[in-house]
Structure 1
Amino acid sequence: MSLVANTGKLAGRTLFITGASRGIGKAIALKAAKDGANVVIAAKTAEPHPKLPGTIYTAAEEIEALGGKALPCIVDVRDEKQVQKAVDDAAKKFNGIDILVNNASAITLTDTAHTDMKRYDLMHNINTRGTFLASKLCLPHLKNSNHAHILNLSPPLNMNPYWFSLHVAYTMAKYGMSMCVLGMAEEFKQFNIGVNALWPRTAIATAAIEMLTGDTSTSRKVDIVSDAAYVMLCKDPKTYTGNFALDDDIVTEAGVKDLTPYACDPKNADNLLLDGFLDDPVAKTQHRATVFSVAARRYHTSAVNRKEEKPQAGAGGQIPQLFDAISKTLSADLVKKTQAIYQFNVKGKEEGVWHIDLKNGDGSCGQGEPKSPPDATLTMDGANFADMFAGKLKPTTAFMMGKLKIAGDIQKAMKLEKMMKSLKNKV
């Protein structure tokens, strides 16, 4: 639901949007199309994805149905020739390019040890290099426009070590996009080209996020980002440049008084999941700055704790009882769906190490470290741990609030959210 009215300021303007076949990129394209803008859909998706809807051709149909003009281009932003051809075709068809939106991005939320170099190269080649390349090749046309903008979907440059410690490769790749804003805003001032960054304050409900977490109830709709992008792209590029903006700040400044309609679930409008790279305003900066050292602690277990055994029913404490209940819910089907091994470092009154193996056989769980190396190691206080398995606290929420520390494959860790939905009625 768009809460920012279209003004017609982008009518006849040409937008070159990378990754515009779905999600945020497409939402920005559709918002501009309502003004009668020309949109170049520069994306790889020419054939339907088995799990994610939308292609460059279906996006083009939607753009033209709203009154815009579309040029679908098959573009891998890593390929200089493909980007150059799309830029040339756009300039020829629409007589120039006024606005570049660098939206295409790749994400792998893994720590250093679990980031293979193929994924590292993918993130850096799409995020940082792709943004630089598209900006470089569009520059000659932007110089000729009287309303030239570059907008990167990238975060503020937050130097809190916490955001590097979680997934240093991804952080570097996204910050590369932000550094393009920092440098190009100053470099291109002489050409009256506005260069800015836009980032959502909360998680945004895209098909990719839903596929990853299985839940968008604490997210906002893509409309808040497309509304914010529209407001930014309508500003005078001569005076509006070098900004690292957050979506809700922009729409609020534009006059939106109630952000509730942007929430996927209005009941959670005041309890939304913060997006990455933004420090929790409730938590002190000092807390965030010390997270790295906390996450780096290692838990040493005794020979007894290392034994592979199911917890005894009725054993003292909340955690043993919880794992006894979990052990009764494990199945080959759950193993097939999850394919991950988890180690839990529990702190507080019931300090200890536990595990759930959802990769082998019919699954197993117990006290001590798993027999095979864990895909993800989760560290949290015992009370929060119990709330998480009872469905009172979602893993993604706990993670973003700093209550849960994750080492290893964060994407597999977030699969716990799906698993817990099947467990919470039984645990």
Structure 2
Amino acid sequence: MSLVANTGKLAGRTLFITGASRGIGKAIALKAAKDGANVVVAAKTAEPHPKLPGTIYTTAEEIEALGGKALPCIVDVREEKQIQNAIDEAVKKFNGIDILVNNASAISLTGTAQTDMKRYDLMHNINTRGTFLTSKLCLPLLKNSNHAHILNLSPPLNMNPYWFSIHVAYTMAKYGMSMCVLGMSEEFKPYNIGVNALWPKTAIATAAIEMLTGDTSTSRKPDIVADAAYVMLAQDPKKYTGIFAIDEDVIKKYGISDLTPYACDPKNADNLMLDGFLDDPAALTHHRQTVSTASIRRYHTSTVNYKEKAESGGQIPELFAAIGKSITPDLIKKTQAVFQFNVKGKEEGVWHLDLKNGDGSCGQGEPKNPPDATLTMDSNNFADMFAGKLKATNAFMMGKLKIKGDLQKAMKLEKMMKSLKNKV
């Protein structure tokens, strides 16, 4: 659902979009295609993924069906030759490049000890190095354009230590993309190249996120990011540069106040999960009397009550008693994981839930078998999570839930919550 009308401003322009075979990159490509733009679909996916739909070729077909022209290119942004080959092909077919969209990115929301160096290198090589390298190689062509833009899908540079503490490796990799905006916007001013960043206000429903969490009901469609990108890329690059924009702000400034059509579930239009790196003013107002602004945990969703919840008394033992009655052979078969819960706050203690061995078990103390995942959470939020009022994925993204061990198995709790919600 696009709310921003196509004006034809990108007609005949050539866009080089990394990671364009699916998700946000694809949405931006299709929006530009409606103007009759040329799009270089620069992505790795040449063969269909077993779980994620879309390849560079299927995306190219969709672009041309909408009136655009497409050039599908197999590009891993870690490989300089592949990027240069795609650029050379773009010159042959479209006589140049006007716009570069650095969308390709890798993510791992893990703490320092849980981030293996292979994953660290992947994030930094794709996010930071890939953005820098693609921008560098496209620069000679952008200099020749009279409407040159670079748009990085990266967050505002927020120096709140919280955003480093929860996933320092990923934060550094994404901020590397943002630092390219900071530096290149100033460096490229003499060439009239606009260099800007765009970041979503809320979680965005992409196939990858759906596969990871199994739920996009509190997310928005990629269309909102594509619409915001379109508005930004239509601006005069001589005047519009060095901006770290948020999709919602761009759309509202454009004149659209009702963003409900962008919501995956219209019922949750006012109940969406915020994306990372954005400090929430409501939380800041609430905490500023007692906590230094440098250390405030200010990432909340609108599903969370900003007022402090009334302290619970003795909820945890009752909760685990109810969970114990809900363990079934089918639940054990589907979950196949052992969880340890380190509960903090008023009802501090260690609890376990074994949905892997024998008939399963739960109760106080550490599990008999090594846990696949250890979850740390304040008791005030713990009952809400198992009652279905606070989703495990949301709690993790908000920093209310810390996970050590197998993240994928820990996220299986999300599905387990649904089966327990009516019983607890």
Selected match of 2:348 from 346, 351, 358: 351
Deviates more, 1:257-266 or 1:321-330: 321-330
CA shift, 1:343, in A, is 2.8
Distance (whole Å) between structure 1 residues aligned to residue 72 and residue 333 of structure 2: 38
Q: Give distance in 2, aligned partners of 1:352 and 1:146.
A: 64
Deviation at 1:397, TM superposition (A): 3.0
Alignment CA distance shift 1:357-1:140 (3 Å): farther
Separation in 2, partners of 1:196, 1:214 = 32
Task: Report how far residue 115 of structure 1 moved.
Answer: 0.9
User: Scaled by the length of structure 1, what TM-score is found?
Assistant: 0.89
Give the match's secondary structure for 1:46.
coil
**CA offsets per residue over residues 61-119 of structure 1, 9 Å max, x none?**
10000000000001111111111100110111100000000000111111111111111
Give the RMSD, CA atoms, in angstroms: 2.1
Task: Supply the distance in 2 between the matched residues of 1:174 and 1:334 (Cα, whole angstroms).
Answer: 38
Q: Which residue number in structure 2 is paired with residue 297 of structure 1?
A: none
Residue 358 (structure 1) shift? 4.2
Distance in 2 (CA, whole Å) between partners of 1:340 and 1:120 is 26
Contact 2:151–2:198 under 8 Å retained in 1: yes
Listed as ranges, the matches of 1:14-413 within 5 Å are 14-284=14-284, 289-290=294-295, 317-330=314-327, 334-335=331-332, 337-338=334-335, 340-358=337-355, 360=357, 363-371=360-368, 374-407=371-404, 412-413=409-410
C-alpha contact (below 8 Å) 2:166/2:399 kept by paired residues:
no
Question: Residues 362 and 159 of structure 1: is their aligned pair in 2 closer, same or farther, counting only changes over 3 Å?
Answer: farther
Question: TM-score, with normalisation over the residues of structure 2?
Answer: 0.90
Report if aligned partners of 1:110, 1:408 keep a CA contact under 8 Å in 2.
no
TM-fit CA distance, 1:340 = 4.4
Does structure 2 retain, via aligned residues, the 8 Å contact 1:113–1:408?
Answer: no
1:306 paired residue number: none
Q: Deviations over 1:152-207 (max 9, x none)?
A: 00011111111111111111111111111111111111111000000001000111
Look up the equivalent residue of 1:32 and give its one-letter code: A
- State the number of aligned residues: 404
Q: Structure 1 residues 369, 418: CA separation in 2 closer, same or farther (over 3 Å shift)?
A: same
User: SS in structure 2 opposite 1:112?
Assistant: coil
More off after superposition, 275-284 vs 88-97 = 275-284
TM-superposition CA deviations, 1:258-283 (whole Å, max 9, x none): 11111111121111101011122221
Q: Which moved more, 1:357-366 or 1:114-123?
A: 357-366
Distance 1:264 1:252 in 2: 19
1:328 match: secondary structure: helix
Q: Shift in Å at residue 336 of structure 1?
A: 5.4
With 262-271 and 230-239 compared, the bigger mean Cα shift is at 262-271
How far 1:420 sits from its partner (Å)? 0.9
Provide closer, same or farther for how the CA distance between residues 273 and 10 of structure 1 changes in structure 2, counting only shifts above 3 A.
same
Alpha-carbon distance between aligned partners in 1 of 2:195 and 2:355, rounded to the nearest angstrom: 46
In the alignment, the residues of structure 2 paired with residue 49 and residue 328 of structure 1 have an alpha-carbon distance, to the nearest angstrom, of 40
Runs of 4+, deviation exceeding 6 Å: none
Contact kept in structure 2, 1:192 and 1:237, CA below 8 Å: yes
Pick closer, same or farther for the CA change 1:322–1:65 going to 2, 3 Å: same
**Where in structure 1 are there 5+ consecutive unaligned residues?**
293-315
